[in-house]
Chains A and B, each alone.
Chain A
C-alpha cells in the first residue's frame, strides 16, 4: 500500500510557540492532502483540505490564521500551529489522496502535540 509519513511523531512545546508538522507521500503523488485532529476516543475531525499550489480550504470553525497550511509540492504538505496554547494539544493526522479511478486516501501515522 501507499505510504504517508509525518514528522515529528510527537512534540512538546511551550505555550506561545509555533509548531510545524510535515506530511509526505513517500511513493506517490498526492493530488490532495487533508489535515485532521483527533481527541482521545473520538473520531477524526477534518480541519482543512489542501491542494498543491493553491490555498487550503478550511472547515467551519477552524482558524486559518492559527493553523497555517502550505502544500508546496505533490508530495509535501505542512501544518503550522501558530502561537500554540494548551487547548491545541491533540493528535494531528494527515492523509493523502492517491489519484486514479478510486482515489484512495491514505493516512499518516499522526503527530501528537502537547502544549505546556
Chain B
C-alpha cells in the first residue's frame, strides 16, 4: 500500500542550553549509525556517525552516545545556537540497508 510520512515530535530549548535528541532503533544487527540535520527547504546534512563498537563519539559541539543494550542513540548539542534549529534524524545501517528515524524538530529560542 501507499506509505505515509510520520509527523515530527518537537523540542524547544533556550539559546545557550544543551540539547539532547533521542532516537530508538529496533534492529540489534545494526552496526553503524548516523545523525543528520535538515534545515527547512534543504537536504539532510551529515553531522556525526558512530560504529557499534563504540559508545561515544564527539565532534564539534556535538556528541553521539550509543547504548546497544537498550537500542538507544542520542545526539547532544552543546551551547545550542539559533542556527541549530532544524530537524534532526538518526539513521541505522543493518546489512546493506539504511533505516531512518522520523526525526525531531529542534527550535532554539533566542
Same complex origin of A and B: yes
Does A77 make an interface contact (CB < 8 A)?
A: no
Using C-beta atoms within 8 Å of the partner chain, give the interface range for chain B: 20 to 34
Given contacts A41-B105, A43-B100, A43-B102, contact A104 B46 (CB under 8 A): yes
Nearest Cβ on chain A to B72's Cβ, whole angstroms: 19
A13 to B32, CA, bound (A): 40
Q: Contact partner of B34 among A42, A61, A105, CB < 8 A? A: A105
A43 touches B5 (CB 8 A): yes
Q: Contact partner of B41 among A59, A97, A104, A112, CB < 8 A? A: A112
B6, closest chain A residue (CB)? A43
Would you list which residues of chain B between 19 and 60 have a CB under 8 Å from chain A?
A: 32, 34, 36, 41-46, 49, 51
B5 touches A42 (CB 8 A): yes
A38, closest chain B residue (CB)? B5
A108 to B42, CA, bound (A): 8
Given contacts A60-B3, A61-B2, A110-B42, contact A44 B49 (CB under 8 A): no
B32 touches A43 (CB 8 A): no
A13 to B51, CA, bound (A): 43
Besides A61-B2, A104-B46, A107-B46, 18 more A-B contacts (Cβ < 8 Å) are A1-B46, A39-B5, A43-B6, A43-B100, A43-B101, A44-B5, A44-B100, A45-B3, A60-B3, A97-B98, A102-B51, A103-B32, A103-B93, A105-B34, A105-B98, A107-B44, A110-B43, A112-B41
Interface residues, chain A, with chain B CB atoms under 8 Å away: 1, 4, 6, 38-39, 41-46, 59-61, 91, 93, 95, 97, 102-110, 112
Q: Can you give 30 A-B contacts (C-beta < 8 A)?
A: A1-B46, A4-B43, A6-B43, A38-B5, A39-B5, A41-B7, A41-B105, A42-B7, A43-B5, A43-B8, A43-B89, A43-B101, A43-B103, A44-B100, A45-B5, A60-B1, A61-B2, A61-B3, A91-B41, A93-B43, A93-B44, A95-B44, A102-B32, A104-B46, A105-B34, A107-B36, A107-B45, A109-B42, A110-B41, A110-B43
